[in-house]
């Protein structure tokens, strides 16, 4: 699912309860993450729930690189937030990741006002982890 499809679906849902269920449903659509990827190295610090993000760097047709992610959490709503972030960032070039404001999207979707401060902080921790990965890939290029 693309980020534009997610935005369109959010726009169709008037009630926060429906949006909340939709976020959980997005989490259920995540590809399974291998047990090997549930490692300390992939664990995101700063999240109230357990969260793992594993990246691979792949060459693209233009000779650049793209960062591909898989993610998982032990909390249903957080799995949904991961799905939104992966729709936004996965398979993107590092430069595009650094130019994309996930917090603005978070606010556009109305997530900030409906999630606990701990969930919001966890979301920011996931974004910062992905941005740090992008900076590392650019520095290595």
Distance CA 123, CA 24 (A): 15
Distances (CA, A) of 95 to 10, 55, 77, 83: 27, 16, 28, 21
Is 47 assigned a catalytic role? Answer: yes
Distance CA 11, CA 62 (A): 35
Spot the catalytic one: 6, 44, 47, 70.
47
Which residues are identified as catalytic? 47
């Amino acid at each position: 699912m693309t980020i534009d499809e997610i935005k369109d679906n959010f726009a169709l849902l008037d009630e926060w309860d429906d949006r909340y269920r939709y976020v959980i449903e997005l989490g259920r659509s995540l590809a399974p993450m291998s047990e090997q990827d549930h490692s300390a190295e992939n664990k995101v610090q700063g999240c109230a729930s357990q969260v793992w993000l594993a990246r691979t760097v792949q060459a693209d047709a233009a000779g650049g690189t793209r960062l591909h992610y898989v993610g998982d959490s032990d909390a249903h709503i957080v799995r949904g937030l991961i799905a939104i972030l992966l729709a936004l960032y996965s398979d993107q070039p590092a430069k595009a990741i650094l130019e994309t404001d996930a917090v603005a999207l978070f606010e556009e979707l109305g997530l900030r006002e409906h999630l606990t401060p701990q969930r919001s902080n966890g979301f920011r921790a996931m974004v910062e982890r992905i941005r740090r990965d992008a900076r590392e890939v650019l520095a290595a290029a």
